[in-house]
Amino acid sequence: MADKLTEIMAWKRREIAPVIRTITLAELRALHASMPPVPSFAGALKRPDGALGVIAEIKRRSPSAGDIAANVSSVEQAHRYRAAGASALSILTDERYFGGTLADLESVTEHFRQQGPALPCLRKDFMVHPIQVLEARKAGASAILIIVRALGDDEISILFEAAQAAGLDALFEIHTESEIERASRHGARIIGVNNRDLAVFKTDLALSERLIPMFPKGSIAVSESGIFTGNDAARVRAAGAHAILCGEALMKAADPSAVISAFRAN
């Protein structure tokens, strides 16, 4: 599975090529002004009560785990997560590798609009062009993902500016010390350590323990992937994580509320 991220990014660029067009910041600002407001993703992660924020992920499959919950309803799973006390949702919208679609995000945010309260939703995808930011805002997302190692600095700047114009937060995902420095130069407010190396899909929580203390002061720290137990959550929280992003453990859980309670127990 050598360098899976390179494979996925190459596919994503081919996938969106037919819909790419010029997207201006003015268009994104106008779209934001015309759409219903969305809840703050950043605000949901750094909780005033000091409790660990939990970003609960809707993920049907992955290259590392295979099928997780292939036929799950995104709306039903979102409802379970909200009832379980999740702080925010991460919704996979990549179909080829993760079994998600933009319709999953749209259906969840529309359900929340009709039957609040709403949770902020991250569009979890491999972002390469502002057209995806526009799609995310139209679909009701509160945030997008920027994978630092997968993008050039110009691409990061363009995506982050597009997100800000559209009224969206951005989760900057990093995996190395040099990527922290790159994210910081771009003004990242929310930084997540992906404990899984997306090149080879190996997971190590020690990465969060090493890198989170290096984050710029005032940033919101997220630990992503490989968190299955209360002890796992305690490890990354002790390292300084304000929130965790968890998919597989919650997708497989008969009772997500018990898992989230265990995450917050320490």
Nearest CA among 174, 221, 168, 181 for reference residue 195 = 174
| Neighbour tally for 257: CB within 10 Å | 15
Find the helix or strand (DSSP H, E) in which 67 lies.
strand 66-67
| Dist CA 50 CA 5 (whole Å) | 34
Domain assignment of residue 26, yes or no: no
Domain assignment of residue 91, yes or no: yes
Domain assignment of residue 126, yes or no: yes
| Dist CA 76 CA 251 (whole Å) | 12
Residue 133 φ/ψ, nearest 5 degrees: -70, -45
Domain assignment of residue 32, yes or no: no
Tokens of 34: 């015309």
pLDDT at 1: 37
Domain assignment of residue 33, yes or no: no
Q: How confident is the model at residue 49 (pLDDT cuts 50, 70, 90)?
A: confident
| Dist CA 124 CA 224 (whole Å) | 12
pLDDT at 200: 63
213 upstream amide cis, omega within 30 of 0 = no
Question: For residue 106, what is the domain's CATH number?
Answer: 3.20.20.70
Domain assignment of residue 125, yes or no: yes
Domain assignment of residue 25, yes or no: no
Domain assignment of residue 29, yes or no: no
| Dist CA 196 CA 91 (whole Å) | 18
CB 73 within 8 A of CB 108: no
| Neighbour tally for 183: CB within 10 Å | 25
**Total tally of structural domains belonging to the chain:** 1
Structural domain including 179 reads 4-16+38-263
Q: What is the pLDDT of residues 132-176, one digit of tens each?
A: 999 999 999 999 999 999 999 999 999 999 999 999 999 999 999
The predicted model scores a pTM of 0.95
Number of H helices, E strands in the chain: 13, 12
Question: What is the average per-residue pLDDT within 252-266?
Answer: 93
Question: What is the average per-residue pLDDT within 68-83?
Answer: 93
Q: What is the pLDDT of residues 9-43, one digit of tens each?
A: 999 999 999 999 999 999 999 999 999 999 999 99
Question: What is the average per-residue pLDDT within 64-77?
Answer: 90
